[in-house]
Structure 1
Amino acid sequence: MSARFLLGTHQPGWLKKVEFTEVPLFVSDRRLRSYVTLPQARQNWSLDSGGFTELQYFGQWTVTPAEYIARVRRYRDEIGRLTWAAPQDWMCEPIIINGGRIGRQVFVGTHLSVAEHQRRTVDNFVQLRAMAPDLPFIPVLQGYTVEDYLTCADMYAAAGVDLTTEPLVGLGSVCRRQATDEAHQIILALHARGITRIHGFGVKILGLLRYGHLLTSADSLAWSLDAYYLGTPLPGCTGHKNCANCLRYALRWRTHLLTRMTTAPTHPGATSMTPTEPSNHGALLLDALLAALTRYVILPTPQAADAVVLWIAASHAQLAWAHAPRMVIRGPEKRCGKSRLLDVVEATCHDPFITVNSSSAAVYRSITEDPPTMLVDEADTIFGPKADGNEDLRGLLNAGHQRNRPAKRYDANAGRVESIPTFAMAALAGIGAMPDTIEDRAVVVRMRRRGPGETVAPYRHRRDRPALRQLAEDLSLWLRADLATLEQAEPPMPVEDRAADTWEPLVAVADYAGGHWPERARAAVLALTAEADEQGQPSTRIRLLADCRTAFGTDTALPTATLLERLKTDPEAPWIDYGPTGLTAMKLGTILREYDVRSTTIRFPNGQAKGYQRSDFTDAWARYCPAPQGTENGELLTFGRGSRTSRTSLNIAGQADEAYLPGTA
């Protein structure tokens, strides 16, 4: 595709650069018009009329066709090698027509109809061609829906312009939705009309992967925005704060795009894409995301910041994963940055779905085969004391960690049972710990208040979110272009079991990006899982098992009353307040039975009593709460368990394998 992808640039001087001898450029009239001495082109190039900016600022064209023709003729004669020029077309995007704001950009609006924009676009092309038949103006189709574009084609036909015979036809107003099925359907509809030699304005990686074989050419300036949000220049780049106008960065970005396009088929009349050297575009995107994240949020550790970056990136490739890791954002108090971090996650993740005030039914119905990313702020409303009525949502968050765990609902109207997908990545923010069932499946980020000297940039939704959404789109373009590779990835993991399931998508993204990210990802895995092990609270049942081991000490058997007494002597343990009267023999037995530990009648030196033998605990201790290596428990005697009747057995403390005494049960 090296002959058919035009690299957009703000720098007309690049036309004369030897580095661009084989790189076709796309340059705007708005950049060239002020030049007294024009550069002489070393390569073929095309001219953008600058219509989007013209309509954004003024709501109309302030340049007459005669003025534009004069400038285009000058560019052709003095710069040379001009292949084609866009007309003074009228874009049909809603923001252009209705006006408004996107971040800091203000659009005055034309306040005309789509049909009027199309009429003016066609009339301008006809006028330009009539006034300057020697200049290479191309017709451009404008609209917003498939029907709009077909109507515009009919307008050209009515004006005597046969688009099926034109050397090239531009397709406008698709830049911001170039990766969608709608854009694909528009191009397919035009092909069905015989309009096959199409230039896609602003079409880049994901659009080209979907329908690049249906285009003759495309252009993009997206590399400049990527570089701007990366924030820091490439190693070796000096003299500028970022690479938004950097020749090296532009060429590297183009190399990455062409590399990704090497396997795309072509249609007759389109030049094939040729392979080029690999690029670290993915690593640069992750670097840019990290820079954006740490601009607005103070994370507790660099490893936590890396984990958040990789979690956000992984959300764009959910179709490839077997598990959907949760991210728990928790803090001990208010004003620890939890909601601000969730704001940045919302702006950069895939298809964010905020569940505030959403019914469980609405949440369930919002999860599709290509799931959104669920975001839950103030998660204590779901899991805390105020959680009444959220059982369905809690069930969804627990079940949705793994594929093929649908919810079953009976549809009375249809008379059948429905399977509703639950698989979706989710981020939850709140004060304090989340339930074990959530945190065990999550990347846990423990936020804290900013300390003295720690500052961040203020985040303003209307101003800052659009730029972050552009970064999200770039992440999606990069990752969704190769989902098959990600789906088959089995990265070496530094952890096992459920932790490996949770972290595998993040490590797979890091390995796919390359650069320094594989090493950083594994460092984050080890750091955050170790932190979770150190700070995590065991379940009440595990705590009871461990406390029983402490209570036994070197004893081989204990009466139930003695065991309870020893358990309650620890002032930091929960047993003295476990229920209205503290931990009772019945509650103790109920919990321990889950581990196949049961009380029995034992004969102690001061008489027989219900109690527990140490040997009955050893298997449960080894499986659920193994003692640290090297722990000394003193010299222990081994006691057999003896036979058991249907009700109980009688064991004698201090005797082995002779516990049953007939007639005493």
Structure 2
Amino acid sequence: MSTRSVAEDFSDIPVEPSKLDAGTDLDAIGKTESFIRRFCILPGAAYLPLALWTAATHVPDAFGAFPYITLTSPVKRCGKTRVLEILELLCAKPQRITSASPASIFRLMKDSPTLLLDEVEALRSSKPSESAQAILAILNAGHRQGATVTRCVPPDWSVEHFPVYGPKAFAAIGRLPDTLADRCICIPMQRKAASQRVARLLFARTPAEAEPLRNTIAAWAEAQRDTVREFYECMSDLGFLEDREADLWMPLFAVCTVAAPDRVDELERCARSLCGAKAIDDADDSYALKLLADVRRVWPDGRSHMLTAALLDALKRIPDSPWGESSQELTPRGLAATLRPFGPAPRQVRVDGGATGKGYLRAEFEGTFSRYLPAAEAESETCETTCMNAG
């Protein structure tokens, strides 16, 4: 992977420097970030991306895809709704709702609002209702510009296409469905510590305080719309991220390059942190991916092969792992069935002393590990988001 920074990549984009100053409040992003910090406790890596996302909601037409924001927590009272309330004061045409039908969602999206949906954990039900499945389909489609849903409309039941593209933020206890989480920049939240203090949001006063900032962001967006679009369209890729994650973050890098060019490298660090935490969460949440991660974890360094019995024994010795639990103990057949879709399969291998037995070759795992797991160093490093409320 190239060591060339994102800031250096932007130096090749042919945009006139004079455009960067036209109608721009260069401190708008910093002021937005400070306003969010005043009321919300978030992971340190989340403040700048959230401020940029807020600005991007005022120019969604500049992008081919718009990232969703998801705020998750293990239990209630972790501040997710407060973040949505703050976004409602700053985003373009906000619509904050808790319960909605599929019909109301795609009709709301006709005017391209910023949709702020609370309590969406119901979408992850093991047996989702027909309504939940329809809502999920609409949300999955709506991060791409030009996406529509087709409905027959009374009284003559003619076919009509409803646009569903636009900015959306979600709050949920637990995880979102995997397909929706793939379209999100994920921000995990925890309850604030006793030592942490935030300002109280006073509905009689705070909206009036936020209005000048929101107007500044809107004016900046209107003045810089074409410049942001040009940067976005000229951007080749974010080489340090996988394809889907790069799609999500490119709009924020385009906005940052125009509004706060001196903070592009900081944004890259934020993206690495949040995407690394998301990749590890994805692996932990999936039975098959967790098994792959644990295989990599227990495989002895330098060993070209490993007997199935030895691999199973090592897996079951991992503290708090599910592999040895009596209700779902991992067997040789179960191990092979789980790994087979990824490529590795059991075969006769030769062990020390010349004897042979069923086992696995390390070489067959290498491509699988690189495709489906975060880099090994990302798992071993202490991620910033595990200290999200340390201040």
Which interval holds the TM-score relative to the shorter structure? 0.7 to 0.9
* Preserved CA contact (<8 Å) 2:347 2:358: yes
1:568 has 2:316 as partner: yes
Which structure has more helix as a fraction of its residues?
2
Partner of 2:26: 283
Distance 2:324 2:156 in 1: 54
- Residues 480 and 412 of structure 1, relative CA distance in 2, 3 Å threshold: same
Match of 2:230 among 468, 488, 492: 488
Number of matched residues? Answer: 351
How has the CA–CA distance of structure 1 residues 439 and 577 changed in structure 2, closer, same or farther, with 3 Å as cutoff?
farther
- Alpha-carbon spacing, 1:412–1:570, altered in 2? closer, same or farther (3 Å): farther
Change (3 A) 1:290 1:569: closer
How does 1:415-434 map onto structure 2 within 5 Å? 419-434=161-176
Cα 1:608–1:416, aligned 2, differ >3 Å: closer, same or farther? Answer: farther
Aligned to 2:386: none
> What is the distance in 2 between the residues matched to 1:284 and 1:536?
36
| SS of the residue 2:71 aligns to | strand
- Specify the code of the residue in structure 2 equivalent to 1:326: Y
* One-letter amino acid of the counterpart of residue 73, structure 2: G
Assess if the C-alpha contact under 8 Å between 1:380 and 1:386 holds in 2. Answer: no
Aligned-partner residue type, residue 285 of structure 1:
A
Displacement of 1:313: 0.8
1:659 maps to which residue? none
Which one-letter code corresponds to 2:244 in the other structure? R
The DSSP-based 3-state class of the residue aligned with 1:327 is strand
1:373 paired to 2:114: yes
Give the 3 Å change call, closer, same or farther, for CA 614–530 of structure 1 in structure 2. Answer: closer
1:544-559 matches, within 5 Å, as: 544-549=291-296, 553=300, 554=303, 556=305, 558-559=307-308
Matched, 1:592 2:339: yes
- Cα 1:379/1:277, change in 2 over 3 Å: closer
2:134 paired with 1:392: yes
Partner of 1:313: 55
Task: Give, in whole Å, the separation in 1 of the partners of 2:41 and 2:374.
Answer: 37
Give the SS at the match of 1:489: helix
Aligned in 2, Cα 1:515/1:571: closer, same or farther, shift over 3 Å? closer
| Inter-CA distance 402–453: structure 2 relative to 1 (3 Å threshold) | same
Q: Which among 38, 42, 45 is matched to residue 295 of structure 1?
A: 38
1:287-331 CA distances to partner (integer Å, 9 max, x unpaired)?
Answer: 332332223223332x42222111111111111111111112223
- Assess, with a 3 A threshold, how the Cα gap between structure 1 residues 556 and 277 changes in structure 2: closer, same or farther: closer
SS in 2 for 1:597: coil
**Change beyond 3 A, Cα 1:568–1:421:** farther
Deviations 1:602-634 (A, max 9, x none): 8999999866555543432343348748xxxxx
Q: SS at the partner of 1:505? A: helix
Map Cα deviations across residues 222-273 of structure 1 (whole Å, 9 max, x no partner): xxxxxxxxxxxxxxxxxxxxxxxxxxxxxxxxxxxxxxxxxxxxxxxxxxxx
Q: RMSD of the alignment, in Å?
A: 3.9
Q: Is the 8 A contact 2:305 2:359 kept in 1?
A: no
C-alpha distance in 2 between matches for 1:284 and 1:493 = 25
CA offsets, 1:494-550, max 9 Å, x none?
A: 733222211111121122224644454344334433444566644322222233345
CA deviations 1:527-575 (Å, max 9, x no partner) are 433444566644322222233345664363535x665454334342233
The amino acid that maps onto 1:525 is A
Q: Which residue type is aligned with residue 296 of structure 1?
A: F
SS of 1:283's equivalent? coil
Q: Which runs of 5+ in 1 are unaligned?
A: 1-274, 630-665
Residue aligned with 2:105, SS: helix
Distance 2:258 2:106 in 1: 31
Q: Is the 8 A contact 1:330 1:447 kept in 2?
A: yes
SS of the equivalent of 1:281 reads: coil
Q: Which runs of 5+ in 2 are unaligned?
A: 1-17, 378-391
Distance 1:588 1:467 in 2: 58
Residue pairs, 1:75-224, within 5 angstroms: none
Taking the aligned partners of 2:29 and 2:297, their CA distance within structure 1 comes to 48
**Residues of 1 paired with 2:24 and 2:238: CA distance?**
24
1:354 is the counterpart of 2:99: no
Q: Alignment partner of 1:380: what SS?
A: helix
Bigger Rg, which one: 1
User: Which amino acid counterpart does residue 421 of structure 1 have in structure 2?
Assistant: P
For 1:508, the aligned partner's letter is: A
Partners of 2:156 and 2:341 in 1: CA distance: 42
Q: 1:610 to 1:430 in 2, by over 3 A?
A: same
Is residue 71–residue 189 contact of structure 2 (8 Å, CA) maintained in 1?
A: yes
For 1:429, the aligned partner's letter is A
Contact 2:279–2:374 (Cα < 8 Å) also in 1: no
**Residue aligning to 1:503:** 249
Q: Does the CA contact (< 8 Å) of 1:352 and 1:373 recur in 2?
A: yes
| Residue 219 of structure 2 corresponds to residue 471 of structure 1 | no
Contact 1:280 1:513 (C-alpha < 8 Å) held by counterparts: no
Partner of 2:15: none
Local SS of the residue matching 1:328 = strand
Give, as a single letter, the amino acid of the residue that structure 1 aligns with 2:247: D
Matches within 5 A, 1:513-662: 513-514=259-260, 516-533=262-279, 537-538=283-284, 539-549=286-296, 553=300, 554=303, 556=305, 558-559=307-308, 563-577=311-325, 580-599=327-346, 612-625=360-373, 628=376
2:79 equivalent to 1:337: yes
The code of the aligned residue for 1:495 comes to F
Separation in 1, partners of 2:298, 2:257? 48
Residue 289 of structure 2 aligns to which amino acid in structure 1? Answer: I
User: Which of 197, 202, 208 is 1:460 aligned to?
Assistant: 202
Contact 1:589–1:599, Cα closer than 8 Å, also in 2:
yes
Looking at structure 1, the residues matched to 145 and 208 of structure 2 have their Cα atoms a distance apart, in angstroms, of 32
One-letter amino acid matched to 1:426: K
Cα distance, 1:419 vs structure 2: 4.4
Residue 494 and residue 585 in structure 1: after superposition, are their counterparts in 2 closer, same or farther (change >3 A)?
A: closer
SS in 2 for 1:282: coil
Partner of 1:358, secondary structure, is coil
Letter in 2 for 1:335: R
CA distance 1:361–1:590, change in 2 (3 Å): farther
| Structure with greater contact order relative to length (CA < 8 Å, sep ≥ 6) | 2
Residues in 2 aligned to 1:400 and 1:616: alpha-carbon distance in whole angstroms? 38
1:602 and 1:277 mapped to 2: Cα distance?
Answer: 63
State the alpha-carbon separation in 2 of the partners of residues 566 and 363 from structure 1.
49
Give the conservation status (yes or no) of the 8 Å contact 2:149–2:163.
yes
Distance (whole Å) between structure 1 residues aligned to residue 373 and residue 91 of structure 2: 38
Deviation at 1:485, TM superposition (A): 2.5
Q: Is the 8 A contact 1:552 1:558 kept in 2?
A: no
In structure 1, how many angstroms separate the alpha carbons of the residues matched to 2:296 and 2:210? 53
